[in-house]
Amino acid sequence: MSQTTSREIHLISRPQGLPVAGDFKITESTLEPLQEQQVLVRNLFLSVDPYMRGRMNDGKSYLPPFALNQPMEGGAVGEVVQSSTAEFKPGDVVTSNYGWRECFIATPKELHHVSRDVHPLSVYLGALGMTGMTAWAGLKLGEVKAGDVLYISGAAGAVGSVAGQLAKLQGCRVIGSAGSIEKVIFLREECGFDMAFNYKAGPVVEQLQVEAPDGIDVYFDNVGGEFLEAALSSLRPHGRIIACGGISGYNNEKPKPGPCNLFNMTTKRLTMKGLLVRDWLEHQAEFEQEVGGYFKAGKLKHKETVVCGIENAVSAFLGLFAGQNIGKMVVKLG
Ligand SMILES: NC(=O)c1ccc[n+]([C@@H]2O[C@H](COP(=O)([O-])OP(=O)(O)OC[C@H]3O[C@@H](n4cnc5c(N)ncnc54)[C@H](OP(=O)(O)O)[C@@H]3O)[C@@H](O)[C@H]2O)c1
């Protein structure tokens, strides 16, 4: 069989503040011939995610830093091209953590079978993938129940838009904030949010007060900063905060002081729980059954923003910090 070449993206310098195109390089490599118990996969879709920004820094965190001058890792959906294992055959569709490259060779335990009958297959990076599972796990962590008033920041993104829809299915009143009128309309008209506002149109604390004059029970935090501060003011006694992400600070060169109104935690007896989706992996089958069921029944919308070509993967990633996506940002290959 002829040799397989693959274009891949390397991190070549650690970004200071907002990453720039020059921190990355696209290169081509030639894959080794397939050995026993190996699978050759051609990627169809790559995921770009805000958490990857943290892996571009040096230093200790919950995931190791990306190695310089190596292909970066990340979620991907691909198709098996060649296999020397019993578990996989050509044509199978799989998910893996071998993102940011066109082709790769893996062992069976690094691959996860998914159905090729689901359309689009990129849904396995979004509503039925890592970000959908984050939304689902977050609602469980926050013990969200029918009747709760839930506020979600970063609501029109991959996690937020699924969290809001799942919360609606559970009987909550859902308020979301996002960075444009188009996103606000998407939340109201496509995701069924009760209320949504454009955080760029005025202070979050004031807009949240208008949308939830009697307060909120749960805050699903994707953004941190001003959004967390506003939620702390609006939360009712015994309210809960699901600490999922803090994208407003990911590119800060120096940490900023935290919310100025943290004393609300005490006076209102609030609970704030940190969420890491990887802690929930043992519940993956339950997630796939429940959320996959909603998706197949047409009760859950998977919205995505698709950028074509591995050569545009870096700009898709940078687009996350400029709000260029509605729903999940994915890169389509081939
Ligand atoms: N804890 C976990 O296990 C876990 C897992 C997955 C994701 N997360 C976190 O969840 C959050 C959402 O992730 P996602 O994959 O769903 O991303 P996403 O929301 O699909 O994309 C990022 C969005 O964040 C908003 N944003 C970017 N910079 C901002 C800023 N400075 N201030 C306010 N909003 C900003 C933009 O929307 P606007 O146009 O609305 O500004 C952008 O579209 C992130 O914080 C991520 O790190 C956590």
Taking only the tens place, the pLDDT of each residue in 179-199 is: 999 999 999 999 999 999 999
Q: What is the pTM of this model?
A: 0.98
Give me 162's structure tokens: 């699924």
159, 302, 315, best to mutate for ligand 1 pocket (most atoms within 8 Å of CB): 159
pLDDT of residue 1: 55
* pLDDT tens, residue by residue, 109-159: 999 999 999 999 999 999 999 999 999 999 999 999 999 999 999 999 999
Average pLDDT score over residue span 242-259: 95
| Ligand 1 atom index nearest CA of 159 | 16
CA distance 287 to 280: 9
Does pLDDT of 22 surpass 60?
yes
Which of 114, 56, 130, 29 lies closest to 321 in space, CA to CA?
A: 56
Burial class (CB in 10 A: 0-12, 13-18, 19+), 91: exposed
pLDDT for residue 78: 98
Question: Exposed, middle or buried: residue 32 (CB in 10 Å: 0-12, 13-18, 19+)?
Answer: exposed
Compute the average pLDDT of residues 85-100. Answer: 98
| Residue 299 clears pLDDT 90, i.e. is over it | yes
- Ligand 1 centroid to Cα of residue 7, in Å, is 27
Q: Which residues contact ligand 1 via a Cβ below 6 A?
A: 49-51, 131, 134, 154, 156-160, 178-180, 183, 222-223, 244-248, 275-277, 320-321, 323, 325, 329
- How much distance in Å is there from the Cα of 98 to the middle of ligand 1? 22
What percentage of the chain exceeds 70 in pLDDT? 100
Report which protein residue has its CA nearest ligand 1's atom 18.
Answer: 157
